[in-house]
Amino acid sequence: MFRFVSYLVILNGVIVNSLKDPVQSLLLELNREREHLEEVARRDTLTNLFNRAHFNEWIQRQTKHAALCKIPLSFIMIDVDDFKKINDSFGHITGDEVLKTVARCIASSIRSSDFAARYGGDEFIVVLHDASEKQAEQIAQRIREKVAVSKELGLNVDISYGVAELEPGADHLKVLQKADEAMYRMKKAKKAPLDIQG
């Protein structure tokens, strides 16, 4: 009953304000709709993380700000292991669920000041604000552990990752490449046969 009365009060306020100044009310509504559409355009529709286009725009501003304030940023590049095999064996719907699970594990492991995006396909990028490479390594390991223990999918999923720290004023593309190379080294190391002595 209380909720119903609350809705009536809110609705009454909207109607009264709309009648007082219909033009302002319309402009306010249009502005809200524009902001909503801009937010939708920045998001990856599957994972609800930011998309690569928004990352490319955001990182330009962020690196300038970090250089100005002398704040380090750390990158984590993440890739789902054997993702093609998952799609081929279990289907694309399961593949989509894997991506959504990884995205949730990322989102629940970072702070509100950090940034996460689906970089493309089964790759993700995380940017940690005011964090060292060592701290990024700890966060990346936490994400990997969360993915490994996730029981939503009914199959074993693992990720590979690479981390790199962006010193204030450094070229973010070179640091991004460094994180990417570290991720592929991890992936390659998992596939390498064990060297058994004796």
Q: Would you please indicate which residues are annotated as catalytic (active-site) residues?
A: 122
- Tell me the Cα Rg of the chain: 22
Q: What are phi and psi of 4, to 5 degrees?
A: -60, -45
Token pair belonging to 177 = 């490449």
Distances (CA, A) of 103 to 74, 111, 152, 190: 18, 14, 13, 22
Give the C-alpha separation, 77 to 74, whole Å: 10
